[in-house]
Amino acid sequence: MCLNERLHAMTLGVNERSDREVFSIIKVIQSNAEDIWLVGGRAYENITIGDEVLSISITDTGEEIVRAFTVERIETYRHVVPQLPSGLTGTLWLHGKGGRSLKQDGMLRMAPNQKG
């Protein structure tokens, strides 16, 4: 993990990995806006606008890379909603750097400082 990622992780209180998987990624699309990523999939816990979620990927050398994103918008069944309830599918509009770490068939985890 590079220094900036480490500092950002500490700012979020993520010095320990969060294993609370909250969203299964089915599809990832980069929007026209800078650092906005549309991620379609299924929620395993309630996700609310403003929540911070993590994408954790492993490099070929086994290094863990943590990227943090903020949920900016939620769409489900062609409606914009303030929360995606557990069990429903929808699209999360995520804001953050490193969106290329978001992978189809990947998982998002809730940042440890979110929702208990």
- DSSP code of 96? -
Distance of alpha carbon 97 from alpha carbon 21, whole angstroms: 20
69 has pLDDT over 80: yes
Distance of alpha carbon 51 from alpha carbon 49, whole angstroms: 6
What local confidence, expressed as pLDDT, does residue 59 receive? 79
104 has pLDDT over 50: yes
The SS3 of residue 47 is strand
CATH class (in words) of the domain with range 3-110: mainly beta
Question: pTM for this structure?
Answer: 0.78
Over the stretch 10-46, which tens digit does the pLDDT of each residue have?
A: 444 444 445 678 999 999 988 777 889 999 999 999 9
Token pair belonging to 88: 């429903």
What local confidence, expressed as pLDDT, does residue 65 receive? 83
What local confidence, expressed as pLDDT, does residue 115 receive? 55
Beta bridge pairs of residue 84: 47
